[in-house]
Amino acid sequence: MPIVVNLDVMLAKRKMKSKDLAEKIGITTANLSILKSGKAKAIRFSTLEAICKALDCQPSDILEYVKE
pLDDT recorded at residue 20: 98
In this structure, are residues 50 and 26 in contact, taking their beta carbons and an 8 Å threshold? Answer: yes
User: Hey, how many other C-beta atoms are within 10 angstroms of the C-beta on 11?
Assistant: 20
| pLDDT values of the chain reduced to their tens digit, one per residue, 68 residues | 689 999 999 999 999 999 999 999 999 999 999 999 989 999 999 999 999 999 999 999 999 999 98
pTM of the full predicted structure? Answer: 0.90
Give the separation between CA 5 and CA 3, rounded to whole angstroms.
7
Please state the φ and ψ torsions of residue 67, each to the nearest 5 degrees: -65, 140
How far apart CA 68 and CA 52 sit, in angstroms, is: 26
Query: Under a CB-based contact definition with an 8 Å cutoff, are residues 38 and 4 in contact?
Result: yes
